[in-house]
Amino acid sequence: MTLQDERTDADVELLREDPTGPPVFLPPSALPPPTGMARLRLTQLYRVGSVVLGLLLLVSIGQAVLALHQNGEARAMLVDRVDPAMVAQFELSDALGRQDDAIRAYAADGERARLVEYRQAVAEEANTTRRIRELLSDVPGKGPVLAGLDRLASDTAAWRGAFAEPIARGPGGGGLSPDSERSGTTAFTRVRSGNAVQQQALSTLHKKVADDLDRRARIAYWSVAAALIMVVLAALALALLIRRTVLTPVSSLSERVRAVAHGDFAHPMDVPGPAEIAELAAIIDAMRHRILDEWRVSSEARQMLNEQTAELRRSNKELEQFAYVASHDLQEPLRKVASFCQMLERRYGDQLDDRGRQYVEFAVDGAKRMQALINDLLSFSRVGRLSRTEDAVDLNAVVGQTLDDLSTLREETGARVTVADLPTVAGDRTQLGQLFLNLVGNAIKFRRPDVPPEVGISARRDGDHWEFACADNGIGIEPRYADRIFLIFQRLHPRDEYTGTGIGLALCKKIVEFHGGRIWLETEDRDGDAPGTTIRWTLPARPEPEPEPEGETEEKSEDDAG
């Protein structure tokens, strides 16, 4: 017989008594040996996956960065080196042409300005040639261009030595001889041919660098595209890995836990996934069995508690009924005892000695005190049993009736009672009257010698409750007795000092709690050694009526007027 079979009978009987409990019990089962993915832990999977994806991303991103770097270098080579060299080549061609034009003009008119222009063009040639060499110093394939520059410089030097410099050293103005014209033209033609070859070599270099830039740009674009594709593939692979190892197992586990939470305690917890998910499922399954066990114990305890509560409620009801009947039935015998003792004193008082009359007085006093105690007990037992709750009780009228009932005591003691404007509450008018009667009566009774009693009753709104206060200038109550004074039959003073049964404040507490409030002794707001006592209590406030819409009010007014 399995554990499930052993529990079935008791559990079925328990479920019949409490149908809100779990419908099925499963015995705890051992965790099956790990298979498949359950043999791997999430840390291992993500560590390996992170390394692989990291390497792939590093390689692809590194390739893209390298391609972009090379593309930048090729672009810088073209824009910062070759293109400025092409511009300088055109400046060099212009400088050569201005040299020929200036020296020929000087030979024709002999003006010194032409000679100065010639010298400036020679200097620009030299500077431009040097700049071209500097710009192309780091450019691959610059050999033909530099060789052309050397040949062009040699041809230019030969032209100047054979034609331009002799004219520049002369006075000028005499024109050119036919021989000089022919030799100069022939030499400068070689210069122009060399310059054309130089320009062609530089154009070839420019095309080569531009083609290299184009090739590197394509490589960069493909490298960046490949890197982006790798990033997307890595993100997809990571998402797939998370879905396979986390989301799907957790979702499956959530569905099983939700099924258990809805009452299907027989739902299996076999969740496929990594070792952590399998362990979590096992822990939840163990918690499920533990909850089941604790539920069985709590159900049994709750059943026992319900039985004890019912028994206690029955016993309390019987005790209340007994107290009511006993206090009610004892009234007549005590009344007879007191009446006959008084008649005995009046009729045979002259025949009794002092001790006899004292015994009669003791008997009468004891009967009266017992009668007062029974009356108080009767009032205490009636709270909550015999009540006539009204929706609106004007506490001003209740306190007014209370002061009328205490008028004789107030006149004898010279008490002054001030009452603030009190609200209208829902409750039992008679019990609320007893509440104020006991509180004001105690405030007057426990007065200081030779000091007229002063009692103040006030109220303030505190949220959904009214908070009342009854303050006096009497003998006061020490804070350590704040809880004791509201217990039944608790007295703080001997009977020969202050009369009473010790039920008054207990009756007040029961009345306030029956009306949904609480009562307490104020111990914090007293000013130092100021005499007196402040009793505070709360009562629920009546809900305020909702204001009528203005339209309806106007219609009613018109109807009334009509």
What pLDDT is attached to residue 490?
Answer: 64
Lowest mean pLDDT among 76-90, 382-396, 423-437: 382-396
Cβ atoms of residues 527 and 397 within 8 Å:
no
Lowest mean pLDDT among 138-152, 404-418, 519-533: 519-533
What pLDDT is attached to residue 14?
Answer: 47
Residue type, 372: A
DSSP string, 212-259: HHHHHHHHHHHHHHHHHHHHHHHHHHHHHHHIIIIIHHHHHHHHHHHH
pTM score, two decimals? 0.42
Checking if the pLDDT of 559 tops 60, the result is no
What pLDDT is attached to residue 221?
Answer: 80
Checking if the pLDDT of 374 tops 70, the result is no
Q: What is the mean pLDDT of the chain?
A: 77
Checking if the pLDDT of 295 tops 50, the result is yes
What pLDDT is attached to residue 237?
Answer: 81
What are residue 529's phi and psi, to 5 degrees? -95, 20
Q: What mean pLDDT comes out for the span 532-543?
A: 88
Confidence of residue 537 (pLDDT cuts 50, 70, 90): very high
Two tokens, residue 180: 């000089």
Cβ atoms of residues 394 and 424 within 8 Å:
yes
Checking if the pLDDT of 542 tops 70, the result is yes
What pLDDT is attached to residue 3?
Answer: 38
Checking if the pLDDT of 116 tops 70, the result is yes
